[in-house]
């Protein structure tokens, strides 16, 4: 590798000397930061590099799909993905003709677009910067990040070695961790699908194969929608420990209801009381309960910040499942599918604890001690899917590059088990508790600090703040050029 460091004379160089930013992960979060940097900064070609193994930027786990049965869970007008232009996506849907080609998009008085269409919209936003070369997409998975000669060195699995002044970690959602009871009996069984979001994960399932799904959240409902769309018609069991299925979206439009920021609650219990009070108010006034959860979402970061760590942990322990079932709601198209399937007996929900698993030749038998009485129910299926959602508790362990940074003391786990620890400027917190000035944690990985940081509008807002911080950083004394594997 040839690395040349050119001293810059500030007085003779009219070009701002902003060095290279490397973004690890090019899902919605990483691609949005790259776009905002390119839009508002003065970069030379290839100075913003996004390492992302997928063929296209902006898709990530949620949107990188061409399955038309997978829709956004949120109405298009609420997908405020472009800072400063909240209606950009709705406009694009009409202008691009995508809405016309998707007759099933309108439901309950709103548009619930296909997820693949959202990815296409976002891809169009970043395309000019890819074409100009300001943003470089390198199709590699980052394996190692470390410090070298005062810079970051980033190594990809395809041989790329980059040096950068700033690194943004936007690796997003880790894979789910299979429930222990299932993994211990099925870990090497080909009928055990541990990550159903992978492309082609469901292809081997035949229409009349029974399916047991561990998990009953939106990921599980995605699997149901994808299976039924490919004419699968056998029984599907949705198993969960708590039985909280995602709730439906409300019909029509509504305003958020409730002000939680006046005398903001500082305990889990006082927060719960305030939510119950707001729910009583909306019920009495004939408003949808969803309006209270919209208010909680809008004010979520301030509410979270007002809670001491121990109270945040209490919220997660006691309220999380119920909250998530109401916060992460299913789109009307999926709610209709679930209702139809339940009525026809094709979809069965089952709550409790797995007490026995027996992989047989034809079927996998699963016994469940059901809630509330512990009666044992027997289930049998040809396939078992793990749809328990991303395991943010193990995110550092799931990635070599993050585990390496942790070993160097430059990255630490979030103490609430929600991803990676960072401060309110999104800078990673080192082992000594101090922020690492040039290492940013972006997107849902930073949820522990911010609380509400899963949906597109909140991520877009964080991306904007991170981009502003990077642009405000000064690297005015040297410009580093790295020549290798680009």
Ligand X SMILES: Cc1cc2nc3c(=O)[nH]c(=O)nc-3n(C[C@H](O)[C@H](O)[C@H](O)COP(=O)(O)OP(=O)(O)OC[C@H]3O[C@@H](n4cnc5c(N)ncnc54)[C@H](O)[C@@H]3O)c2cc1C
Give the shortest CB-189-to-ligand X separation in angstroms: 25
Give the shortest CB-355-to-ligand X separation in angstroms: 30
Alpha-carbon span 86 to 80, nearest angstrom: 5
Is 24 near ligand X (CB under 6 A)? yes
Is 28 near ligand X (CB under 6 A)? yes
Is 170 near ligand X (CB under 6 A)? yes
SS3 content of the chain, % helix, strand, coil (to 5): 35, 20, 45
In the complex with ligand X, the residue whose CB is nearer, 403 or 471, is 403
For residues 357 and 364, is the Cβ–Cβ distance under 8 A?
A: yes
Is 401 near ligand X (CB under 6 A)? yes
Which parts of 139-168 interact with ligand X (CB under 6 A)?
141-142
Is 48 near ligand X (CB under 6 A)? no
> Angle at the Cα of 317 (from 313 to 319), degrees rounded to 5?
105
Is 444 near ligand X (CB under 6 A)? yes
Give the shortest CB-425-to-ligand X separation in angstroms: 18
Is the peptide bond prior to 372 cis by the omega test (within 30 degrees of 0)? Answer: yes
Give the shortest CB-59-to-ligand X separation in angstroms: 7
Is 417 near ligand X (CB under 6 A)? no
- What binding mask, one character per residue, do residues 189-228 give for ligand X by CB under 6 A, x or -? ---------------------------------x------
In the complex with ligand X, the residue whose CB is nearer, 357 or 420, is 420
Residue from 454, 462, 480, 482 binding ligand X (CB under 6 A):
454
Give the shortest CB-81-to-ligand X separation in angstroms: 8
Closest CA to 93 of 115, 109, 108, 73: 115
Is 62 near ligand X (CB under 6 A)? yes
Contacts made by residues 351-357, CB under 8 angstroms, sequence distance 24+: 351/239, 351/240, 351/241, 351/242, 351/243, 352/239, 352/241, 352/377, 353/241, 354/179, 354/181, 354/182, 354/239, 355/181, 357/181, 357/182, 357/184, 357/185, 357/186
- What are the C-alpha distances in Å from 281 to residues 270, 275, 276, 298? 17, 10, 9, 18
Alpha-carbon span 72 to 470, nearest angstrom: 31
Residue from 19, 29, 125, 163 binding ligand X (CB under 6 A):
29
Residues in contact with ligand X by CB under 6 A are 24-30, 51-54, 60-62, 72-74, 79, 141-142, 170-173, 222, 399, 401, 443-444, 454-456, 459
């Amino acid at each position: 590798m040839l690395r040349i460091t050119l001293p810059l004379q500030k007085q003779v160089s009219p070009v701002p000397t902003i060095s290279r930013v490397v973004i690890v992960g090019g899902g919605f979060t990483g691609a949005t930061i790259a776009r905002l940097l390119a839009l508002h900064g003065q970069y030379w070609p290839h100075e913003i590099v996004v390492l992302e193994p997928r063929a296209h930027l902006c898709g990530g786990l949620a949107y990188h799909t061409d399955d038309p049965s997978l829709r956004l869970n949120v109405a298009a007008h609420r997908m405020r993905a472009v800072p400063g232009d909240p209606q950009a996506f709705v406009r694009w849907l009409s202008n691009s003709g995508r809405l016309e080609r998707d007759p099933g998009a309108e439901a309950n008085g709103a548009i619930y677009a296909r997820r693949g269409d959202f990815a296409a919209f976002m891809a169009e936003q970043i395309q000019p910067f890819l074409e100009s070369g300001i943003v470089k997409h390198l199709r590699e998975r980052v394996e190692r990040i470390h410090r070298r000669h005062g810079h970051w060195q980033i190594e990809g699995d395809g041989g790329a070695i980059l040096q950068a002044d700033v690194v943004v970690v936007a690796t997003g959602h880790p894979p789910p961790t299979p429930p222990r009871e299932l993994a211990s009996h099925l870990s090497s069984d080909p009928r055990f699908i541990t990550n159903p979001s992978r492309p082609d994960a469901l292809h081997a399932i035949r229409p009349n194969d029974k399916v047991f799904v561990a998990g009953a959240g939106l990921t599980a409902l995605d699997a149901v929608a994808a299976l039924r769309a490919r004419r699968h018609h056998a029984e599907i069991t949705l198993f969960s420990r708590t039985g909280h299925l995602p709730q439906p979206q409300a019909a029509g439009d509504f305003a958020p209801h409730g002000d939680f920021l006046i005398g903001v609650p500082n305990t889990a219990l006082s927060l719960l009381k305030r939510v119950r009070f707001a729910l009583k108010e909306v019920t009495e006034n004939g408003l949808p309960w969803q309006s209270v959860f919209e208010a909680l979402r809008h004010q979520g970061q301030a509410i979270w910040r007002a809670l001491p760590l121990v109270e945040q942990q209490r919220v997660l322990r006691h309220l999380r499942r119920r909250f998530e079932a109401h916060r992460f709601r299913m789109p009307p198209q999926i709610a209709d599918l679930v209702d139809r399937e339940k009525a026809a007996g094709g979809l069965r929900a089952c709550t409790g604890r797995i007490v026995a698993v027996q992989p047989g030749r034809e079927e996998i038998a699963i016994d469940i001690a059901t809630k509330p009485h512990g009666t044992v129910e027997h289930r049998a299926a040809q396939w078992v899917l793990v749809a328990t959602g991303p395991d943010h508790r193990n995110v550092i362990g799931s990635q070599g590059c993050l585990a390496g940074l942790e070993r160097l003391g430059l990255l630490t786990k979030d103490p609430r088990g929600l991803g990676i620890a960072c401060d309110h400027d999104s800078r990673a917190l080192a082992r000594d508790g101090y922020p690492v000035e040039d290492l940013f944690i972006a997107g849902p990985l930073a949820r522990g600090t911010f609380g509400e940081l899963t949906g597109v509008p909140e991520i877009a807002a964080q991306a904007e703040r991170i981009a502003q911080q990077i642009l405000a950083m000064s690297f005015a004394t040297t410009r580093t050029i790295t020549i290798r594997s680009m």
